[in-house]
Amino acid sequence: MKEHKNTIYKTIYQYNQVPVPASDMKRLLEIARDCKVVKNYVYDRYGGIGGLLKIYPGYTVQNEMTKSGLREKLGLPSIYFYLSIFDALGDIKSQWTYAKKRVEKNIRNNPNLSAEERHYLRFVMKQSQCFESILVGGELKLADGWSEGYAAICAGVDTHRLDQYLRRQVRRHLDKPHTDAAEGFIVSPKGYRYADHGIYLTMKESRKRLFIPLTDNNQYKTQIYVRLCPDKERITLNIPIEVRQRHPKGYSGKSGLAMGLNCMFVTDQGRVYGEKYLEYQSAITDYVRERLPRHQRNSRNNPGKKKYNAGKTRLEKMMHDYVNAEINRMLETEKPGVIYIPKFPAKSKAGFNRRVNATINMWQKGFIKSRLSQKCRERSIELVEVFGKGISTQCSRCGADGVKEDGVFRCSACKMELPERQNTAGNVLRRGQESKKGIEAGSL
């Protein structure tokens, strides 16, 4: 499913019209339980390092599962069987993505690795066949065109030691998924039919469908999730749908924003949002710096690490809540139809101290930007990036160069004085509008 501009996914719910009889609920619960069994079977077999060779693109898993005899043993309709397999495969792939990100981060932050060693590790992680053969052992396989590059990066590094390091890292960070929940299941259009004020669902007994009257007459043609609430004699159908968003009323202005660490946004009108952002961010950085060395010596899953993770998660949640609240406040106050923001440089410039650098790194990963982008999409606000070079040293009134001192910008030509960030935001707005007219179209 592709996400388009101005569209977002929403979940629509449908409910049963009358209480679901206990005997029907029992049949539904049985499907949910079987799906759980199938998912855990897939997790167990393919969730570890050994499964890596089989999960992409997944035919192997599908074939092996077909031959496993599990479906016949459970008596589960194939629609539920295969959807559970795909669902589980999706979870396994997410675990891999997550594990790889963690490993990449550790490689980046490991002071004992030289630049060449880091380069080697990044290279082999990028080349999936190479990565696989290092993890599962066996002969090194390289895709066409990669052999030369591989030979070059191997020169001067201890590949044996680095491969061991990589294996250790992956083992540490790759969690095998498991589920104890059997509160529902996924069904695709082949497994249901809307009719007679309700929905007919494929059941385990062959050629029998269970009819459930619904409170509405809407019909959908997508994968839906059937959630069971046996104690309330209720089911809920969760239907993900793509919706086009429209502007809420009155969102029509144009805003230029300066973005920074000390406060999230300053508008071209000089209004400030997210002034406490750095406090939240520093709390996390301090926490990590003070607690991390102790817990790194301990092995995983010990109480110290759990406590550390819980503490860090709590601080991150506070920061995320703050960011979300401030973005909402900004959008509700400014009511923009278009927002211009400066395009960030790809890498931060050197020269910051360690703490600020770590903070900037996290900031640059674009958490705020991605939240802003999502919230703009939900409200159909256009978000435009403008060319950012020299944007803080230019006068937003006349375009001449000026100087910044103690947070104030002074123009050498027209003598305008403005808070530094507000001047930047003014330039963002101006560049945005100019590029819209095509004057600076080439500079983006």
Minimum gap (Å) between residue 418 Cβ and Zn ion:
9
Minimum gap (Å) between residue 435 Cβ and Zn ion:
20
Side-chain-facing half-sphere of 396: CA atoms under 13 Å: 29
Q: Are 242 and 253 in contact (CB under 8 A)?
A: no
User: Considering only 41-49, 138-146, 362-370, 414-422, which stretch makes contact with Zn ion by CB under 5 A?
Assistant: 414-422
Q: Are 204 and 27 in contact (CB under 8 A)?
A: yes
Q: Shortest CA distance to 212 belongs to which of 221, 202, 223?
A: 202
- Does 325 bind Zn ion (CB under 5 A)? Our answer is no
User: Considering only 4-12, 151-159, 285-293, 413-421, which stretch makes contact with Zn ion by CB under 5 A?
Assistant: 413-421
Fill in the per-residue mask, 244 to 273: x = in contact with Zn ion (CB under 5 A), - = not in contact: ------------------------------
- Identify the sign of the CA torsion 326, 331, 332, 333: positive
Minimum gap (Å) between residue 386 Cβ and Zn ion:
19
- Does 395 bind Zn ion (CB under 5 A)? Our answer is yes
Q: What is the rounded end-to-end Cα distance, in angstroms, of the chain?
A: 29
Minimum gap (Å) between residue 393 Cβ and Zn ion:
11
| Residue 232: count of CB within 10 angstroms of its CB | 11
Q: Residue 193 belongs to what H/E stretch? A: strand 192-195
| Residue 432: count of CB within 10 angstroms of its CB | 25
- Does 397 bind Zn ion (CB under 5 A)? Our answer is yes
- Does 410 bind Zn ion (CB under 5 A)? Our answer is no
Interface size with Zn ion, residues (CB under 5 A)? 8
Contacts from 308-316 at CB under 8 Å and sequence distance 24+? 311/287, 312/284, 312/287, 312/288, 315/280, 315/283, 315/284, 315/287, 316/284
DSSP output for 133-172:
HHHH-SS----TT-HHHHHHHHTTS-HHHHHHHHHHHHHH
Q: Shortest CA distance to 120 belongs to which of 145, 147, 154, 151?
A: 154
Closer residue to Zn ion (CB): 325 or 413: 413
Fill in the per-residue mask, 268 to 307: x = in contact with Zn ion (CB under 5 A), - = not in contact: ----------------------------------------
Closer residue to Zn ion (CB): 170 or 411: 411
Minimum gap (Å) between residue 427 Cβ and Zn ion:
11
Strand, coil or helix: what is 201?
strand
Closer residue to Zn ion (CB): 403 or 439: 403
Closer residue to Zn ion (CB): 285 or 396: 396
Residue whose token pair is 């230019």: 394
Among positions 143, 151, 292, 398, the unique one binding Zn ion when judged by CB under 5 A: 398
Structure tokens at 248: 């809420």
Q: Report how far residue 144's alpha carbon sits from residue 227's, in angstroms, rounded to the nearest whole number.
A: 47
Among positions 125, 411, 425, 429, the unique one binding Zn ion when judged by CB under 5 A: 411
- Does 414 bind Zn ion (CB under 5 A)? Our answer is yes
Closer residue to Zn ion (CB): 184 or 256: 256
Fill in the per-residue mask, 13 to 32: x = in contact with Zn ion (CB under 5 A), - = not in contact: --------------------
Closer residue to Zn ion (CB): 39 or 421: 421
Side-chain-facing half-sphere of 390: CA atoms under 13 Å: 8
Closer residue to Zn ion (CB): 400 or 441: 400
| Residue 385: count of CB within 10 angstroms of its CB | 16
Closer residue to Zn ion (CB): 388 or 402: 402
CA-to-CA dists, residue 8 to 122, 366, 377, angstroms: 34, 20, 7
User: Considering only 132-140, 148-156, 264-272, 412-420, which stretch makes contact with Zn ion by CB under 5 A?
Assistant: 412-420
Q: Report how far residue 88's alpha carbon sits from residue 69's, in angstroms, rounded to the nearest whole number.
A: 18
User: Considering only 134-142, 194-202, 372-380, 399-407, which stretch makes contact with Zn ion by CB under 5 A?
Assistant: 399-407
User: Considering only 13-21, 176-184, 230-238, 387-395, which stretch makes contact with Zn ion by CB under 5 A?
Assistant: 387-395
Closer residue to Zn ion (CB): 195 or 398: 398
Q: Are 262 and 26 in contact (CB under 8 A)?
A: no
User: Considering only 350-358, 362-370, 379-387, 400-408, which stretch makes contact with Zn ion by CB under 5 A?
Assistant: 400-408
- Does 403 bind Zn ion (CB under 5 A)? Our answer is no
Closer residue to Zn ion (CB): 118 or 404: 404
Closer residue to Zn ion (CB): 152 or 400: 400
Residues 6+ apart with CB under 8 A from 325: none
Minimum gap (Å) between residue 263 Cβ and Zn ion:
24
User: Considering only 65-73, 153-161, 285-293, 388-396, which stretch makes contact with Zn ion by CB under 5 A?
Assistant: 388-396
Residues near Zn ion (CB under 5 A) are 395, 397-398, 400, 411, 413-414, 416
